Amino acid sequence: MRLTQYLSQAGVCSRKAASRLIAEGRVQLNQKTATPHTPFRGDESVTVDGQRVLLSEQHLYVLYNKPVGIDCNCRADDPASIIHHLTLPRRLFPVGRIDKDSRGLMLLTNDGRLCHRLLSPQYEHPKQYEVQARPHFQNSALNPEFKKKMEQGVVLDGQLTQPCQVTLLSHDRFKICLTQGLNRQIRRMCRALGYHVVDLQRTHILQLSLDELAEGEWRHLTRSEIDAIKAQIFQ
């Protein structure tokens, strides 16, 4: 097991974030600062910022309806960090991100294996959003041409986004289902087509949905929801 995997399975953070912690010198093995090249056997004493880290025996899964203004980072020095706005029974980390100026459904867990599988781009797990967008200059409502271009892909930084599904809901609202997770992807796609996003809400992750979960509230996943997700992503 790699040290990054150990930290992820212990519920500290994702593997990517664990790599950053190690590079920043914040992880110690047997009271010695670890580096990206430090061997890890698995029986060492592991600490992060001086706090002992042990593998979790019980995995928890939480759905959270994130409001605008809360950042998905887990930095204690950031007043907007999710850790200051979400009181959970154990330390969990977000599976992916929602922009600070966006809102909606988030999954948090200490299950590093599930998190890694959900975030891996090779598995293309769907996430659905509802978006309100308005034109930059022209007085033009969302139209079939906008839908077609979004679905076929938009060039961002020289890269064509993957095909997606778009449903027009009104003159300025649409629903979009993505299997890709580029940084601020929906906002950038809209901007490239001459629109700016006024409101962006994630409504679904796989088969999980907001339903009656109020903004700012969270709940545990049910046993059937956990089993259904694992059956889908580990098939």
pTM (2 d.p.): 0.76
Annotated catalytic residue within 99, 111, 157, 199: 99
Asked whether residue 89 carries a pLDDT value surpassing 70, the answer given is no
Please report the pLDDT score of residue 87 as a whole number. Answer: 80
Range of the domain at 34: 3-52
Three-state secondary-structure class, residue 35: coil
Which of the two residues, 139 and 177, has the higher pLDDT score?
Answer: 177
Q: Do both 96 and 160 map to the same domain?
A: no
pLDDT at 171: 93
C-alpha distances in Å from residue 15, one per residue of 6, 29, 32, 163, 182: 9, 17, 20, 28, 18
Q: What is the CATH number of the domain that holds 187?
A: 3.30.70.1560
Mean pLDDT, the chain, rounded, equals: 90
Q: Is 144 exposed, middle or buried (0-12, 13-18, 19+ CB in 10 A)?
A: exposed
Tokens 């599988």 locate to 117
What is the mean pLDDT of the segment spanning 143-155?
96
* Whether residues 152 and 114 fall in one domain: no
Clarify whether residues 39 and 106 are in a common domain.
no
Cβ neighbours around 91 below 10 Å, total: 17
Q: Report the candidate in 200, 14, 9, 4 with the shortest Cα–Cα distance to residue 120.
A: 14
The count of structural domains within the chain is 3
Query: Does residue 201 share a domain with residue 130?
Result: yes
49 carries an active-site annotation: no
The H or E element spanning position 44 is: none
Q: Are residues 80 and 193 in the same domain?
A: no
Distance CA 138, CA 225 (A): 45
pLDDT of residue 213: 95
What's residue 56's pLDDT? 61
pLDDT value for 204: 97
Q: How far, in whole angstroms, is CA 180 from its chain's centroid?
A: 11
